[in-house]
Each structure stands twice: as structure tokens, then as C-alpha cells.
Amino acid sequence: MATSSIKTSDIALSAATTDSTNKLAFWNFFVAFAAFGLAIPMGAYQVLERSGMFPAIENAAVYYASTSTHGVLMAYVLSTYFIIGFGYHTAVHSLKQALWSPRFAWIGFWMSTLGVLLAASTLLTGHASILYTFYPPEIAHPVFYIGAALLVVGSWFWCILMVVSTVQWKKANPGKPVPLIMYGTVLNALLWLWTSIGVAAEVVFQLIPVSLGWVDTLDPGLARVLFSETLHGIVYFWLFPAYLVMYAILPKEAGGKLFSDEFARIAFVMLFIFSVPIGMHHLYMDPMVAAGWKLLHMFGTFMVAVPTMITGFTIIATLEIAGRLRGGTGLFGWLKTLDYSNPVVLASTLSLLMLTVGGWGGVINAAYSLDALIHNTQWIPGHFHLIYGGTTVIMYFAAAYWLWPKITGHQLYSNKLVLTQLWLWFIGMWVTTMPWHYLGLIGQPRRVDTVQAYQQAEELVRSWDFSMLIMNIGAIMLLVSGLLFVYILFMTSRQPMATKAEQEVSYAEAIHPPLKVPTLLNSLSFWNWAMLIYLVASYGYPVLQFWFIGTPESPQWGI
Amino acid sequence: MSIHIDPLEKKWIIMTSGIVLLTWVLIIYYAAVENVHPPSNVEVIDSAHLHLTSGVGGGEFMEDKLGIHRDVDGALVVTMVAARYGFYPQHIEVPINTPVKFRIASFDVLHGVLIPFSNMNTMIVPGYVSELTTSFTRLGDFPVICDEYCGLAHAYMYGMIKIVPKDNFKLTAEVH
């Protein structure tokens, strides 16, 4: 037994490797959270502007510039940079090996950052007020698309490094299971490579050529189909690291062990395979995709509920183990003994509560018969703010609080303030998104800067008033909580140095840590082939059809 | 090689799979028996030349053809154009609990149409005809709202629909 395996935690990383990884992680997080800090006040402004209760701040041009910027910063910059920073840190510390080429990582970082700055310059000056989905034939300034393309291409450098790290490790450790957190990370990198194909093709072959005037027309139907290929996978790209924190960091922080390692791997491969080829549920209400394809994508969409349900099961079981180890008894007694003063435990619990409600909302969106009622209503921002802004971003906070002492070397500033921030975010998210869900059900559209224009439908508009008042309160709570998060990270850098133990990085173990796992649950190539086949089957014809249905194409339009 | 699956996990998987299967069956049932389908007619049109009879799909959406009429089978059809920033015709009147077929084309950019408290919801993509058949179940006046961002005045893009009792409904103009 003793000689059969060397525990990976016994292998020490060199100080140089740790330092260069910390630097890489820190600067990626820095961009992520700077974008977040900028986008938070914009979000609050948009809510107040839209409520119609503050006429002095109402301005459509400012609103749409703000909304476009808020969406791009939160959905593309915060998420991508966080995932990249977390991924580099995970790859080095879980595999206990240096990154193949930190220089390659920095090239990707600077390419993406150049892209972000270019895109931001057009967004903030109102030259790209076409929202973060940038649906043609409204066309923004070409620099916006070039910036977006650079951001995506820069992120591919990270994907390549994640794959290289894993392949190197597998060669050096034949037959051994890739550490759970790294298996999830590399699958997420592959997921992003696959799912970014759609938007990359749309931007490179349609939007950039038209915006530069190289071609006169494009097919908005094709653009929407290509974008849909990205639109759902990207959501799981954002969510995946949140799950990884729950699987690989939470159990230890809670004082227990992960309930199951293998079950987690099954969830990961399912998340990978079912998150990309199902994007047409974003097109349920679109005229250019035949109903049969929508049905096929709907089946796949419901399948994504399975890995989420597995995750819910495993994480709650894991929390139960920890609660019982801490002396909890009875059916629910273990809930009381959990250590909610630990930021990771608190955030995970709050995240799961938001996931439960947000997930059921997602199941409603997934059924096209129900989608007809809520498509493009305020329900939709309600749903994705609860799932992304709530479930996912609260785990980004937790990961940042866990990582900050490790990568900066400073003690975390005020645990009490950290807990306040997490609670405020959680409550603020409910107070904001529940009215939005309800407003959607009673017919309020999303993406409008004012709802006062529907004057002939006075009675309906007045029925929205109360919910609009409540959402203002939620937005203020989120504003305070978001700024508090940035403040805590900033103040941490002025704290005394953390102890060696606080800086140590280690991941949770399962109750039965597997010495071997079935090849399929350790494989990358099999799942890539499976993805290719599923993707061709689900998107092949719907994309190809545009070459023979003879759509008269659209010229470009300004805003 | 077998993997370690707890009996509880096995039950959980069976229950989850059961829920997924149930949703599949429900959707297939409603598609096959109740005819619930998403708007998906994949029909192209020359959006830039809706006012002309030439061109792909030309003629149907000319100004004098817009509005409500009966087709050869006697079914009600609303022909509508969505353009920055309005729906044309701006006012329509339809009877309650009667299937109405909407055919809508965009003149310019991407639009959407949403009528609160109904299943009337579809994207209007330039280059394509959106077709949707639905019945309205509530009497009264409702806004016909553009529900996709279409430019800075997007929030001002709406029309009105009046749902009237079947007996009160009269076609004001026959259009063919």
C-alpha cells in the first residue's frame, strides 16, 4: 500500500513556479474584478433608469451604451478572466507541475486585454450600443468586433495550455486518474474551444467583413444560428468553475470529504457533451430553423438537468458528511452544525439555493411551449442574473476569498465583512430577480430603457409599478455588495502577511479516492469525438441550409 | 472496471432520468396531439423590397395588403410589417378563442413581437417570414410589443390589439 502510490501533495512545487503562477493568476483576476467593479454601478444605474422613477437620469443613448458595456464586462470579461486565472492556478497546484510555457500564457493575456480595451473604447463612446448579443443587421464600429475576436482568440491560448498540462501529466502518470478539479478544468477548456467556434465564425466571416465594408450584406438568420452555438455552451463555461469550487474546495473547507469522485466525473463529461449542441433553444421563437431541429435541441437541453441534479446531490451529501462530522444529528440537524462563517461554505450554500430556483426557471425556458410566454420578457434577465450573477458569481467571490491569501500572501481582510458581502449579494439577487421573473410573466419585455412609452396600455404598465419599485431596492443592495467585494480584495493587499498554512493550496479528497477510474472518465479524446459527432448532427444541416434556401441578405443598419 | 456508485446515487439517477423522460413525453404528446409547435416555417423574403411585387416573396407585404383578412379556407390571417419603430397596421381587432394566423416580415433590422398574456411571441428576422397561429383567451386591449432591441427608440415600438367577443367581430375590409 505504502509504496503503490506517491501522494501528489508530497511533491513540492519550486518557489519560482509558485510565484510565476501566482502572478499569472493575480493579473487575470485583476482584470476580471476591475471589469466587475466597473460594471456593477452600470447595472444599478440601468435598473434605476428603467424603473421610470428618476426622470432626471433617463436617457436612451446612455442606457443602451451602459447595458451593452455591462453585459460585455460581466458576461465576457469577468467570467473569462476569472476562469483563466483560476485555471492556471488549478493546473499548477493540482498537477504539481510547472506550466508548459508561462510566456505563451502571457501572450494570450495581452492579446485578450488588448481586445477588451479596443471593445471598451467603442462601447463607452456609444459606438457599439448593440447589446452584448450584437445581433446583426445592426452593426457596430468594426473595432468592437476586432476587440471581441481578440478576446476570444487570446482565451484559446489558455485552453491550449490546459490541454497541454493535462496531456503532460497523463504521460508522466500513466493509468492514474487526472485530479478531479483538473479533469473538470480541462473539460471546461475544451468546452470553450468547441463552443466559441460559432461566435468566432460569425464575427470573422460576417460581422467584421460587413462592418469594414468589404461586403455589403449578410444573412442575420445564419448569424443567429452561429451565435446560438456559442450561447448555451458559454453559460456552462461560466458555471463549470463554480461547480469545481464546490467539488474540490468546499468539502475540505466544510471539514469533511467529497461524497463521490466518480459521480463527479460523470457529471463533468455530461456537462461537457450536453452543453454545446443544444444552443437552438435560444432560437425556439425564430422563423429560420425548422421545428424538428428545435425538438432535437430541446431533448438535449433537458439532459443538461441531469449533471446539475447530480451536482446538487453530491454537494448536499458532502455538506451532510461535514455537518455530521461536526456533531450534527437527525434528518436535518447537520444543517445547523455547518460552519457558515467560512466564506466557501456560506457561498456554496447560498449558491445552491439560487441554483435550485434558477434551475427550475431554466427548465421552463427549455420547453418551447412555455418559452412562448416568457421569451424576451423580463423573465429572461431574471433567470440569467439568478443563475449567472447569483449561483455562479457568488462562487467566484468564494474562490477569490479562498485564493487571495494564497496568491497575494496577505491575510484576508475582515471575515465579518466577507460574510456580510455574501449575504447582501444573495438577498439583493432575490430582491432584484424575483420581481423580474414576475414582470416577465405579466408581459414586460426585456431590453427596453423605459416602459412608460406604451401609453395606450396604461393599465398594464401600472400593474408593473410595484415590482419596479422593489427591483430598485435589490439593485442598491447588489451595488453595495459588489463594491464591498472589490473593497475587501483591495484592503487585503494592505493586511499583514498570511501564515505558511494559510498560503498552502490543497484540494478535497473523496471518501473513496479512486486509484483508477474507467478510461472514459479520464479521457479527453473520446469526448472530443463524441462532441464532434453530436455537433455535426445537431448543427450540420441547420447551418448548411443557408447555402441553398436563398435568403435575400440584409444590408447593415446603424443604431 | 466498475466504478463506485452508492445505492442512493443510483436511486437519484433513476429519479432524475424519470423527470427528463417525463418532460420528453409531455412535449412529444403536446406536439403530436395538441399541435403545439414553435414558429418555424423557414420561408424567405426580400425584406428590403417589401413594397415591390418583384423579388423573393414580393407582393404579400405591400402597404395595401396589410391587415386582417380571411384566406381561401376562411381562416383569419393578419399580415403585418415590423419596421423601426412600429407595427403596421398599428391597430388590429380579432375575435376571442379563434385561431388567428399571423404572417409578419421585418422591413429593416431584427425585431420581435410579444402580446402579454398570450402565446404570441416570435422573432422577426430580416430575410424571413415569421408565421404563427394562436388563439387569444382574454378580452380587452393589449399592446403588441417589440421584444428585441432594434435601435435607440426600441422602447417606443408597439401597436395595439383588441380582443373582442366572437359576435362583435366584423371584418372591416376584405383584402386578398
| Pairing of β B158-164 and β B91-95 | parallel
**Arithmetic mean of pLDDT over chain A:** 94
Residues A210-216, mean pLDDT to the nearest whole number: 96
| Pairing of β B100-106 and β B129-134 | antiparallel
Name the minimum distance, in Å, from the CA of A216 to any CA of chain B: 13
A residues 40-69 closer than 8 Å to B (CB): 60-61, 64
Q: In A49-82, which positions are buried (b, 16+ CB within 10 angstroms) versus exposed (e)?
A: bbbbeeeeebebebbbbbbbbbbbbbbbbbbbbb
Asked if A424 and A481 touch (Cβ cutoff 8 Å), the reply is yes
Q: Please count the other Cβ atoms lying within 10 Å of the Cβ belonging to residue A462.
A: 9
Assigned domain for B18 exists: yes
Name the minimum distance, in Å, from the CA of B28 to any CA of chain A: 9
- Per CB-CB distance under 8 Å, the chain B contacts of A550 are 44, 56
Min mean pLDDT across A211-215, A282-286, A318-322, B49-53 is at B49-53
Give the CATH number, domain containing residue B88: 2.60.40.420
User: Could you give the percent of chain A with pLDDT greater than 90?
Assistant: 91
Burial of A433 (0-12, 13-18, 19+ CB in 10 A): buried
Assigned domain for B75 exists: yes
What local confidence, expressed as pLDDT, does residue A11 receive? Answer: 64
What local confidence, expressed as pLDDT, does residue B59 receive? Answer: 86
Q: Is the pLDDT of residue A4 over 60?
A: no
A448: contact with B, CB 8 A cutoff? yes
pLDDT band at A5 (very low <50, low <70, confident <90, very high): very low
Residues contacting residue B127 through CB under 8 Å, at least 6 positions apart: A219, A220, A221, A288, A551, A552, A553, A554, B44, B45, B46, B47
Name the minimum distance, in Å, from the CA of A249 to any CA of chain B: 21
Q: Please count the other Cβ atoms lying within 10 Å of the Cβ belonging to residue A539.
A: 22
Asked if A136 and A218 touch (Cβ cutoff 8 Å), the reply is yes
B135: contact with A, CB 8 A cutoff? no
> Across the strands, what pairs with B141?
B162
Is the backbone of residue A175 left (phi > 0), alpha (psi -120 to 50) or beta?
left
Query: Which three three-digit cell numbers place residue B96?
Result: 376571442
A residues 229-258 closer than 8 Å to B (CB): none
- Per CB-CB distance under 8 Å, the chain A contacts of B105 are none
Longest dimension (CA), chain A: 80
pLDDT band at B174 (very low <50, low <70, confident <90, very high): low
Q: Please count the other Cβ atoms lying within 10 Å of the Cβ belonging to residue A6.
A: 10
Are residue B67 and residue B9 in the same domain, yes or no? no
Are residue B74 and residue B125 in the same domain, yes or no? yes
Are residue B115 and residue B151 in the same domain, yes or no? yes
Question: HEC states along A88-150?
Answer: HHHHHHHHCCCCCCHHHHHHHHHHHHHHHHHHHHHHHCCCCCCCCCCCCCECCCHHHHHHHHH
Whole-angstrom distance, CA of residue A267 vs CA of residue A309: 9
| Pairing of β B140-145 and β B129-134 | unpaired
Are residue B159 and residue B103 in the same domain, yes or no? yes
Longest dimension (CA), chain B: 74
B14: contact with A, CB 8 A cutoff? no
Are residue B74 and residue B144 in the same domain, yes or no? yes
Are residue B30 and residue B60 in the same domain, yes or no? no
Assigned domain for B42 exists: no
Q: Which of A519, A182, A253 is nearest to A402 (CA)?
A: A253
What local confidence, expressed as pLDDT, does residue B172 receive? Answer: 67
Radius of gyration of chain B (CA): 21
Whole-angstrom distance, CA of residue A481 vs CA of residue A479: 5
User: Could you give the percent of chain A with pLDDT greater than 70?
Assistant: 98
Whole-angstrom distance, CA of residue A250 vs CA of residue B171: 66
Question: HEC states along A232-248?
Answer: CHHHHHHHHHHHHHHHH
Asked if A260 and A327 touch (Cβ cutoff 8 Å), the reply is no
Give residue B112's domain range.
Answer: 47-168
**Arithmetic mean of pLDDT over chain B:** 91
Whole-angstrom distance, CA of residue A112 vs CA of residue A116: 6
Name the minimum distance, in Å, from the CA of B172 to any CA of chain A: 22
**Per-residue pLDDT tens digits for B109-122:** 999 999 999 999 99
Angle at B109 between CA B104 and CA B112, to 5 degrees: 50
Are residue B2 and residue B53 in the same domain, yes or no? no
Q: Which of A227, A135, A215, A129 is nearest to B125 (CA)?
A: A135
Provide the residue type at A67 as one letter. T
A559: contact with B, CB 8 A cutoff? yes
Asked if A82 and A28 touch (Cβ cutoff 8 Å), the reply is yes
Assigned domain for B163 exists: yes
Element spanning A12, H or E: none
DSSP symbol at A414: -
DSSP symbol at B76: E
What local confidence, expressed as pLDDT, does residue A81 receive? Answer: 98
B35: contact with A, CB 8 A cutoff? no
Q: Which residues of A are catalytic?
A: 232, 236, 383-385, 446-447
Instruction: Count Cβ–Cβ pairs < 8 Å, chain A vs chain B.
Output: 215
B163: contact with A, CB 8 A cutoff? no
Residues A272-297, mean pLDDT to the nearest whole number: 94
Assigned domain for B145 exists: yes
Specify the residue for cell string 511533491: A11
What local confidence, expressed as pLDDT, does residue B173 receive? Answer: 56
Are residue B87 and residue B10 in the same domain, yes or no? no
- Per CB-CB distance under 8 Å, the chain B contacts of A131 are 149
* Residues A485-490: contacts with CB under 8 Å, at least 24 apart: A485/A33, A485/A36, A485/A397, A485/A400, A485/A421, A485/A425, A486/A33, A486/A36, A486/A37, A488/A401, A488/A412, A488/A413, A488/A414, A488/A417, A488/A418, A488/A421, A489/A33, A489/A400, A489/A404
CB nearest to A369's CB, from B36, B128, B149: B36
Q: Which of A196, A194, A188, A193 is nearest to A242 (CA)?
A: A188
Are residue B29 and residue B51 in the same domain, yes or no? no
What local confidence, expressed as pLDDT, does residue A271 receive? Answer: 95
3-state secondary structure (DSSP) of residue A554: strand
Total domains in the fold of chain B: 2
| Nearest residue in chain B measured CA to CA from A285 | B122
Q: Is the pLDDT of residue B53 over 90?
A: no
A287: contact with B, CB 8 A cutoff? yes
Provide the residue type at A153 as one letter. V
Are residue B53 and residue B4 in the same domain, yes or no? no
Name the minimum distance, in Å, from the CA of A28 to any CA of chain B: 32
* DSSP assignments along A512-534, one per residue: S--S---GGGT-SHHHHHHHHHH
Whole-angstrom distance, CA of residue A9 vs CA of residue A12: 7
Q: Hey, CA dihedral for A198, A199, A201, A207, is it positive or negative? A: positive
Sorted by where each starts, the structural domains of chain A and their CATH numbers stand as: 16-555 (1.20.210.10)
Are residue B73 and residue B149 in the same domain, yes or no? yes
Assigned domain for B175 exists: no
Q: Please count the other Cβ atoms lying within 10 Å of the Cβ belonging to residue B109.
A: 29
Min mean pLDDT across A129-133, A150-154, A379-383, B35-39 is at B35-39
Q: Hey, CA dihedral for A438, A440, A443, A447, is it positive or negative? A: positive
User: Which of A224, A311, A454, A515 to mutate against chain B (most B CBs within 10 Å)?
Assistant: A454
- Per CB-CB distance under 8 Å, the chain B contacts of A287 are 39-43, 122-125, 128-131
- Per CB-CB distance under 8 Å, the chain A contacts of B43 are 287
Assigned domain for B173 exists: no
Are residue B84 and residue B140 in the same domain, yes or no? yes
Assigned domain for B176 exists: no
